[in-house]
Amino acid sequence: MAATRTHIPLRLWLCLSVLVLLAVIVPVLNLLTPPEHSLHVPTYVVSLLGKYLCFAILAVSVDLIWGYCGLLSLGQGAFFALGGYAMGVYLVRQIGSRGVYANPELPDFMVFLNWTELPWYWWGFDHFSFAVAAVVIVPALLAFVFGWFAFRSRVSGVYFSIITQALTYALMLAFFRNDMGFGGNNGLTDFKDILGFSLQSDATRLGLFILTCLALAAVLLICVAITSSRFGLVLIAIRDAENRARFLGYRVETYKVVVFTISAAMAGLAGALYVPQVGIINPGEFAPANSIESVIWVSVGGRGTLVGPIIGAVLVNFGKSWFTAAFPEFWLFVLGGLFICVTLFLPRGLLGVTESLFRRSWSMPRRSVAASTPEAAE
C-alpha cells in the first residue's frame, strides 16, 4: 500500500502538467504559426483532441467505480449521452429563428412533426446555467435511483453489468422514437453558437478545448481526493472483500450509490463538453458498444490508476481514427484482439507495465552498487 501511495503523486503531477501544457501549447501553435508551418495545429485537430479528452473524462469516471469499487458498469455511455443531450437541447434553443422554418419557439424537427408547443422538459434550457445544472443532475439522478434499487437488492458482479447494459439499450430505443421530443434517429444538430460565440469560430473551438483540459484536470483531482480519503479506502475494501466490509458495519449499499452517482455526473460533464465540439448528438451515443469501449480504454491504460484510463482513451481513439480511415472493416477485430491481449498479457494495463519496468530498472543499479561495497562482500 505504501509503495502505491508514493507513486500516485508523481503520476498525478505528470498528468496535470501535460494537461496544462496542452492547454497552452495547442492554442499557441494554432494561432501563432502559419498554416503551412510544420508545427501548426489545424482547427480540426484541436476539435479531435478535445473529443479525445472528453472520452478521457468518461474513462476516468469508469475507473472510479470499476477500479476502486469493483463495479463494472456497461452503461456508463448512457450518462455520457444524457449529459450530451442536455447540452444539445440548450444549443438548439439558441438557434431561435435562424432555423429552416424560422420559428423562434419550436426547433425545426418539432415543426416538421407538427408539434404545437414546446415539451415541458425543454423548459428552462434557454438559460446556460440551467443547462449546466441539468448536465450534471440528470445523469446523477438516474444513477442514484437506479443504483438505489440495484444495490439494495444486492445486485453485483456480472448481474450489475448486465442490467446497466440493459439500461443504456432501453434509453437508446426510447430516444430513437420521434415522440420523445429529441429529434428521433437524427438527434440534435445544426448548432449555431454557445453563449453568443459562434461554434464555427476557431477561437470558440480553442476555448472549448482549453475548457475540456481544465475539466479533465478537475475531475482527476476530485477522483484523487475521493480515492485517497477514508471513503476511498472503504471503496477499496468493498472491491476486495465486500462481505467482510459489510460484516465490519459499513453500509456497503450507501457507498456504492454515492460513488456510482458521482461517476455518472462526471460522465454527463464529458458528454456536455463533447457535443459542441463534434456538432451533433443522436441516440447512437447510447449504444452499448460505446460503454464497452470505455471499459476497454480503462483496461488498456490500467485499471485503478486514474491516469491510465486517460492514456488508454487517447491511444485507443487515436488508433480508431486511423483504422477507420485506412482499414474500416478491420477496426472491430482490432479492438476485440486488443482487449483479449490486454486481459491475457497486460492485466495491469500499459501504465502498470511501465511503472513495473521503471521500478525494476531503477532498483537494479542500486542493488549492483550495494553488492560492490566491502560490507556486502563480507
* DSSP codes joined into one string, 104-129: SSS-HHHHHTT--S--GGGTTTTSHH
Question: Is 225 part of a structural domain of the chain?
Answer: yes
Which amino acid belongs to residue 11? Answer: R
Q: Is residue 325 packed enough to be buried (19+ CB in 10 Å), middle (13-18) or exposed (0-12)?
A: exposed
Gyration radius of the chain's alpha carbons = 23
pLDDT score at 338:
87
Question: Is 127 part of a structural domain of the chain?
Answer: yes
Question: Is 378 part of a structural domain of the chain?
Answer: no
d(CA 119, CA 110): 10
Question: Is 376 part of a structural domain of the chain?
Answer: no
Q: How distant, in Å, are the alpha carbons of 42, 116, 177, 293, 315 from that of 320?
A: 20, 42, 29, 11, 9
Coil vs helix vs strand at 176? coil
Question: Is 213 part of a structural domain of the chain?
Answer: yes
pLDDT score at 345:
84
Question: Is 377 part of a structural domain of the chain?
Answer: no
> How many distinct structural domains can be found in the chain?
1
Q: What is the DSSP letter of 153?
A: T
pLDDT of the chain, 378 residues: tens digit per residue = 444 443 455 888 899 999 999 999 999 999 999 999 989 999 999 999 999 999 999 999 999 999 999 999 999 999 999 999 999 999 999 998 888 888 888 999 999 999 989 999 999 999 999 999 999 999 999 999 999 999 999 998 999 999 999 999 999 999 999 999 999 999 999 999 999 999 999 999 999 999 999 999 999 999 999 999 999 999 999 999 999 999 999 999 999 999 999 999 999 999 999 999 999 999 999 999 999 999 999 999 999 999 999 999 999 999 999 988 888 888 888 888 888 888 888 888 888 888 777 777 766 565 554 555 554 444
Element (H, E) at 280: strand 280-281
d(CA 120, CA 145): 21
pLDDT score at 369:
46
Report whether 77 contacts 296 (CB < 8 A).
no
Question: Is 109 part of a structural domain of the chain?
Answer: yes
Reported residue count of the chain is: 378
Of 73, 74, 68, residue with least CA distance to 8: 68
Question: Is 133 part of a structural domain of the chain?
Answer: yes
Report whether 38 contacts 131 (CB < 8 A).
no
d(CA 87, CA 140): 15
pLDDT score at 1:
40
pLDDT score at 364:
59
Phi, psi of 194 (to 5 degrees): -140, 125
Q: Which domain holds residue 331?
A: 2-371
Coil vs helix vs strand at 304? coil
